[in-house]
Chain A
Amino acid sequence: EAGVAQSPRYKIIEKRQSVAFWCNPISGHATLYWYQQILGQGPKLLIQFQNNGVVDDSQLPKDRFSAERLKGVDSTLKIQPAKLEDSAVYLCASSFTSGENTEAFFGQGTRLTVV
C-alpha cells in the first residue's frame, strides 16, 4: 500500500514569510497528525484530526499556525508569518484505529529552514 505522502521535502523561507505543507495519509486512515521535530528533539504533536474534525490542537501556536483537513482526507499545515524558531522537520502521520491495534505511519517529513 502507498505510504503517507508529504510535500515539499525541503523549504527555505525568510522570516515573516508564509509557507504551507501538504499531507496525504494512507487511504482509509481516519486519524491524521502533524508533528514538529526540532533538531535534537523528539517529535511534538501540533494537531490531531479525526476525519475532518480537530481532536487536539492544544500545542498548536494558533497565532501563526493553522491546519485544515476539509474533506477528511488530505491536510495542509500553514505558518504565517514564520519565525526563526519554526525551523524544524514537520512530520505528518496517520493511523487506522484505536485500541490495541493502533499504530502511526509517518511520512518522510518537510524540512523547513527559516532564515
Chain B
Amino acid sequence: AQSVTQLDSHVSVSEGTPVLLRCNYSSSYSPSLFWYVQHPNKGLQLLLKYTSAATLVKGINGFEAEFKKSETSFHLTKPSAHMSDAAEYFCVVSPYNFNKFYFGSGTKLNVKP
C-alpha cells in the first residue's frame, strides 16, 4: 500500500529563518518522491523530485530534500525563508513503474515579515 503523511498541516516561520516541512511515506515498491508547491489560485508546480539517484535533492528557489530510506522520510528544507515562499506544499509518492501519484494532505507555509 502507498501513503504519504505530512506531519504538519500549518507551519509558520519568520522571513530569513529556516524552513522544515516534514513528510513520511509508505510504499510497497521503490518509490519516486516529489514535492509540489501550490500558490493561491495557481496550479501545482514541481519543486523537486527524487528518483533513486542522489539522496539529497536540490530543487528550485533554494529548496532541497533528503531521502532517508531507513526513516521513510523525505523532508523539505530551505535555509532562509522568503515572503514569496508562502504557499501550500504537497509531498507526493509514486511507486516505481506504477505511474501513479499519491498526495499527502498538504502543509500550509506562512512566512511572517
The verdict on A24 contacting chain B, using a C-beta distance below 8 Å, is no
Residues B99 and A31 in contact, CB atoms below 8 Å apart: yes
Chain B residues within an 8 Å CB radius of A35: 103
Interface size class of B (residues with CB under 8 A): 20 to 34
In the complex, whether A61 has a CB less than 8 A from a CB of chain B is no
A48-B100, A98-B98, A102-B99 in contact; A42/B43 too (CB < 8 A)? no
Report yes or no: A103 in contact with B34, Cβ–Cβ below 8 A: yes
Closest to B45 in A: A106
Q: How many residues does chain A have at the interface if contact means C-beta atoms less than 8 Å apart?
A: 30
Chain A contacts of B78 at CB under 8 A?
A: none
- Chain B residues near A (Cβ < 8 Å): 4, 32, 34, 36, 41-44, 46, 49, 51-52, 90, 92, 94, 96-106
Please give the residue numbers on chain A whose beta carbons come within 8 Å of chain B beta carbons, in ascending order.
31, 33, 35, 40-45, 48, 50, 55-56, 91, 93, 95, 97-109, 111
